[in-house]
Amino acid sequence: MIEKMEFKTDLKAFEWYNKRFFEFGVFETSEKYNKLMLEWLGVKDKSRKKLLDIGCGGGVFLKEAEKFLDCFGVDFSSVALTQAQENSAASLVIASASALPFKSNFFDYAVCLGSLEHFIDLKKSLSEIKRILKKNGKINIYVPNSDFILFKFNKATAFQPNERLASIEEWKKLLSEYFSVEKIYKYTESPLGRFLPKKYTYSFSFICSNK
């Protein structure tokens, strides 16, 4: 795993993200991406099941997910959550992923899309995610691939102060300590990415269950 961890505390990271989001806006994902992440998670029908978006940012994924589920979002950036309130009707909470303010065994689904690699305490965050998920609950964890060819020239995913890159084997080994990895999808925005073997794709979407 390749690590670049400039900030060692949530407070420092919180200050950077709030400033960045205030000046340039919150990172957003496309409607196509959001629908695909739900599809891979196995969400197809409307129900009263609960989903938590960890690192929900501006709430654009939640806007899609709430068509099917009762949705909650958590982010440690107050600026991001202000935008999320405009985009989504989900219940929103400001908090760190390493201290989730929810009851144990509460959520049927969770997503952590492009956020896990930036968390300061990976293991504590994964333990918290495991705690709040119901038994057999499912999570979609989207992370960058260190074997992607362009990362050989530029060791960064989004030029953020705290970042990690890992291979498919390294991510699977880490996530398997907490969850049962059921499926691994490859993902890239580029049309040419479909021709890349999974091992060398831009990023992975790990579909895991809480066994």
Tokens coding 169: 């084997």
User: For 5, left (φ over 0), alpha (ψ -120 to 50), or beta?
Assistant: beta
Instruction: Identify the pLDDT of residue 155.
Output: 59
Instruction: Identify the pLDDT of residue 98.
Output: 95
**CA–CA separation, 6 vs 22, rounded Å?**
20
C-beta of residue 56 within 8 angstroms of C-beta of residue 36:
no
**Helix (H), strand (E), coil (C) string for 68-128:** CCEEEEEECCHHHHHHHHHHCCCEEEECCCCCCCCCCCCEEEEEEECCHHHCCCHHHHHHH
Q: For residue 97, which phi and psi values (nearest 5 degrees)?
A: -65, -20
Please tell me the CATH superfamily of domain 2-209, with its number.
Vaccinia Virus protein VP39 (3.40.50.150)
Tokens coding 157: 């995913």
Positions of the chain with pLDDT under 70 = 152-158, 192-193
* Domain coordinates in residue numbering, the chain: 2-209
Return the C-alpha torsion angle 76, 80, 86, 90, nearest 10. Answer: -30
User: Given the structure tokens 């407070």, which residue do they identify?
Assistant: 11
